[in-house]
Amino acid sequence: MATLLRRTASRLVGSCIKNRFSVNPFYNQTTCAPHGRLRHLTPSISRNNHFTTSARKRASSNDPLLRVIEAEIGFAEQADDYNRVEETPSGFPFKMEDKPGTKIVTLTRDYQGESVIVEVHMTNLVTGDKGDDEDEEESDEEEEEDEDKPEKPKQSNVPLLVTLSKETGPSLEFRCTAFPDKIVIKDMWVTFPGDPSKDELAYEGPSFRVLDEKLRKAFHRYIEIRGITPGMINFLHEYMINKDSKEHLLWLKTLKNFVKS
């Protein structure tokens, strides 16, 4: 009887061991988990999660700069220069072209068969006692004046590049500085736009400041007849101040979009 009980117990233990390690189609032998649940036990690593985390970190690190840029945009929008519209004065002879994002405004007209093009650059604003170095050239045409006279305060000015062309032949270019009460020619060149190879080797002429005084005055009168007059400067001065404000605001918004993206 004892022998029979031992044999029965031995069979039961062997059966349990066999059943435990038998291949069950619904269980994984290594994890003893159903095959359908195996993928849920495996850690999931997503590339999207990695990029999302990186984007959040980048956005967080850019927050201080964005706040400063947004504050600057607010200050710029509170000023009224960026959206002020300057009316073109009556009798203004030029067609005006102003492209957003550029530093210049182009004026064009025809005068007795000549093409007159004026590039108006950003205004040089004088906000203190120390003016721009360019203003020093204003004294070139006043060398004959008494040296004992008190020095005139620096004035804001508008840089101009005037190009006079005909259908054929060379062109004349004048680099000017327009002050509230007068226009000063800084330099003059002879150019050959129709023949670039000749233009590179051409003798452009002496410095304007060394020309005879009568010749300098004659050239001033020459460009004045073509519409480059002190009367147009007040309008251009205000217009370019407004343009500078517009371009500054546009620049700030471009910076914000770049940093934010």
Asked if pLDDT for residue 23 goes beyond 50, the answer is: no
> H/E element holding 119?
strand 114-121
Distances (CA, A) of 182 to 3, 150, 162, 235: 131, 19, 15, 14
Q: Classify residue 111 by its DSSP letter.
A: E
**What are the respective helix, strand and coil percentages of the chain, to the nearest 5?**
45, 20, 35
- pLDDT surpasses 70 at 198: no
For the chain, give the mean pLDDT. 75
Specify the 3-state DSSP secondary structure of 54. Answer: helix
CB-CB contact of 229 with 161 (8 Å): no
Q: Enter the DSSP assignment of 32.
A: -
Residue 47 near residue 55 (C-beta atoms within 8 A): no
Q: Average pLDDT, stretch 69-94?
A: 82
Query: pLDDT, tens digit, for every residue of 213-247?
Result: 999 999 999 999 999 998 888 889 889 988 888 89
Whether the predicted pLDDT of 160 surpasses 50: yes
What does the longest C-alpha to C-alpha distance in the chain come to? 145
Judge contact between 177 and 186, C-beta under 8 A: yes
pTM equals 0.66
The Cα–Cα gap between 224 and 218 comes to: 10
Q: Encode pLDDT of 130-159 as tens digits.
A: 444 444 444 444 444 444 555 666 788 999
Give per-residue pLDDT as tens, 169-194.
889 999 999 998 899 999 999 888 77
